[in-house]
Amino acid sequence: MSDDNSKNFPPDHAPGIHALLEPEQEPKHETIGQLLFEIFCAVIFLGMIGLVFYNALLRYIFSSSYPPSEEWARFLFMYITFFGAIEAFICKKHIAVDLFVVKFGGVKRKTLDIMASACSLFALGLLFYGGVVNVLQTLDTYSVATNVNMAFINGTLPVMALVGVIVELRSLAGLVRRPASTFHQG
């Protein structure tokens, strides 16, 4: 018994597989700023991995650890998380659930996109405010093992939120200027 749909596809491909294949894209030309930012993030990430590996090695071989390495690894994890969020905002690679909005087009879709952008701005504003309050509260607090001022560590949250606000404001301005006829259904 043969399937009528199997005539349209080669035997080594399942129906629908072509929807999964992406068209070839031209490689993006990075600016020197983007390259330096990626190198900065890579150094932070590799530093975090190195510190965790170093501490694990000390525990298994010498049955002891070096507490500052744990603390620095935690700080670097916070930094890579927030700097990764900045990159996701700038490159528009953050997670977006569009299950609902793809059902609309035209003015309705534009309105929904503007409302979503406004909600994002509100949430980022709250993050920025909370981050600034947190930094101000920790100006006189120092970490236990490394004696680093915690305002320096906690300062990544308001920086990330501020960059997110700037990127989202630019995106909102583009949405408002864009004609409603260019918003198509999913």
C-alpha 107/C-alpha 76 separation (Å) is: 44
Residue-wise pLDDT for 121-144, tens only, equals 999 999 999 999 999 999 999 999
Ordered alpha helix ranges (H), the chain: 17-20, 32-62, 67-91, 106-137, 150-154, 156-177
What is the residue extent of each domain of the chain? Answer: 31-80, 92-185
C-alpha 10/C-alpha 19 separation (Å) is: 15
Q: Tokens in use for 91?
A: 């490159």
Residue-wise pLDDT for 153-185, tens only, equals 999 999 999 999 999 999 999 999 999 888 888
Residue-wise pLDDT for 91-109, tens only, equals 888 888 888 888 888 899 9
